[in-house]
């Protein structure tokens, strides 16, 4: 990889309580932070590795953050950004829960339909609902107007 930062040396740092998101698609760690609305300005303790070597993915990103566990809507967004990510919940230095993120079949209230005239974008109290019809290549379809969307169109909303 031509880099001196190895996977191992970054894994050395342990968190006490919090979340480790590993196997993030290389170069997308900062997008994950944006999705989680975390930037360090509120004193959050974070460690981030970007484009480090990974046996599984070639390169990967990793985010560790202290004192925070994820909500399910957050996990769904991370699944869109980084479909191979793994999420470990750490309590008192032990991993108490491992999650593999999985693209859900339905995205409800997570991302908006990109068709501006779709009823889900009107002032009606309608929650956006997209069906993920295919993962690779990705496309999703709006429940209300049938509009077809690619992944980039959804990621832009984060």
Interacting residues toward a copy of itself by CB under 8 A: 1-6, 9-10, 12-17, 26-30, 33, 39-52, 59, 61, 64, 66-67, 93
Distance in Å, CB of 50 to a copy of itself, minimum = 4
Q: From the CB of 67, what's the least distance to a copy of itself, in Å?
A: 8
C-alpha angle 46-82-34 in degrees, rounded to nearest 5: 45
What are the residues whose beta carbons fall under 8 Å from the beta carbon of 131, sequence distance 6 or more?
105, 106, 140, 141, 143
Measure the CA dihedral 42/47/50/54, to 10°.
-150
Could you tell me the smallest distance in angstroms from the CB atom of residue 37 to a copy of itself? 12
Q: Which is nearer to a copy of itself, 90 or 113 (CB)?
A: 90
For residues 75, 76, 80 and 81, what is the CA-based torsion angle, rounded to 10 degrees? Answer: -20
Pick between residue 61 and residue 74 the one whose CB is nearest to a copy of itself: 61
Specify the residue, 35 or 130, whose C-beta has the smaller distance to a copy of itself: 35
> Which of 43/116 has CB closer to a copy of itself?
43
Least distance (Å) from a copy of itself to the CB of residue 2? Answer: 8
First CA to last CA distance, the chain: 30
Q: Quick one: 39 or 134, whose CB is closer to a copy of itself?
A: 39
Q: CB neighbours of 121 closer than 8 A, spacing ≥ 6?
A: 112, 113, 115, 128
Cβ 139 to a copy of itself, closest distance in Å? Answer: 23
CA-CA distances (angstroms) from residue 118 to 26, 54, 147, 148? 34, 42, 8, 12
């Amino acid at each position: 990889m031509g880099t001196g930062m190895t996977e191992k040396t970054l894994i050395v740092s342990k968190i006490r309580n919090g979340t480790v998101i590993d196997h993030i698609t290389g170069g997308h760690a900062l997008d994950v932070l944006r999705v989680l609305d975390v930037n360090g300005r509120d004193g959050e303790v974070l460690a981030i590795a970007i484009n480090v070597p990974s046996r599984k993915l070639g390169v990967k990103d990793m985010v560790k953050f202290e004192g925070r566990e994820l909500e399910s809507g957050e996990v769904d967004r991370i699944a869109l950004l980084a479909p191979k990510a793994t999420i470990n919940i750490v309590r008192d230095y032990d991993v108490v829960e491992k999650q593999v993120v999985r693209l859900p079949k339905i995205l409800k209230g997570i991302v908006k339909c990109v068709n501006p005239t779709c009823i889900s974008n009107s002032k009606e109290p309608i929650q956006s609902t997209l069906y993920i019809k295919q993962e690779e290549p990705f496309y999703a379809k709006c429940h209300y107007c049938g509009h077809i969307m690619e992944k980039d169109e959804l990621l832009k909303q984060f």
